């Protein structure tokens, strides 16, 4: 997992060529003017999800992990926290669902091991397979516009 701002995106461009494209797209696009929805950049290899939502309490959402994609989550406006813990001996509460590339992990079973990290306007988080994460949380509801770029590994 990586948390940073777009000013430092150059530090991560050599990790994966499509990750470099994702970070460049975030830096070059005005997402305040984009409509909510999904946009392909390179078919199923690289695509963008623009979403507006209100954060939820930690206790409401499950953790998730992916196998086929890296998540690049960028906050355009607002603020949230995300829960994070490395995938180790956890057992999913819902098995891996190949079609949507995720497995869910129960909050109650993992809350003691999780760290909750703020993600504010202009910041991004990169979640690799093996990074269990719970995006979109905050103690009090907050309006957020966030872009998620899915990067096939």
Q: Residue 98's pLDDT is what?
A: 86
| DSSP conformational letter for 34 | S
Q: Residue 94's pLDDT is what?
A: 86
Contact 65, 131 (CB under 8 A): yes
- pLDDT digits over 30-68, tens only? 999 999 999 999 999 999 999 999 999 988 878 999 999
* pTM reported for the whole predicted model: 0.93
Q: How far apart are the first and last CA of the chain?
A: 15
What percentage of residues in the chain have a pLDDT greater than 70? Answer: 100
Domains of the chain plus CATH, in order, are: 2-152 (2.60.120.370)
Length of the chain: 153
**Cα–Cα separations (whole angstroms), residue 110 to 75, 91, 131:** 25, 10, 13
In degrees to the nearest 10, what's the CA dihedral of 46, 51, 55, 60? -60
Q: Which of 143, 136, 124, 132 shows the shortest CA–CA distance to 25?
A: 124
């Amino acid at each position: 997992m990586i948390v940073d701002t777009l000013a430092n995106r150059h530090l991560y461009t050599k990790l994966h060529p499509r990750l470099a494209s994702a970070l460049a797209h975030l830096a070059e696009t005005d997402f305040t003017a984009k409509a909510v929805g999904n946009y392909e950049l390179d078919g199923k290899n690289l695509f963008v999800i623009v979403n507006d939502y209100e954060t939820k309490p930690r206790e409401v959402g499950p953790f998730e992990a992916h196998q086929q994609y890296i998540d690049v989550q960028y906050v355009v406006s607002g603020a949230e926290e995300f829960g994070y813990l490395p995938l180790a001996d956890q057992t999913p509460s819902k098995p891996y669902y190949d079609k949507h590339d995720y497995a869910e992990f129960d909050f109650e079973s993992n809350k003691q091991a999780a760290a909750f990290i703020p993600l504010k306007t202009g910041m991004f988080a990169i979640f690799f397979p093996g990074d269990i994460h719970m995006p979109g949380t905050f103690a009090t509801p907050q309006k957020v516009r966030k872009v998620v770029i899915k990067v096939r590994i």
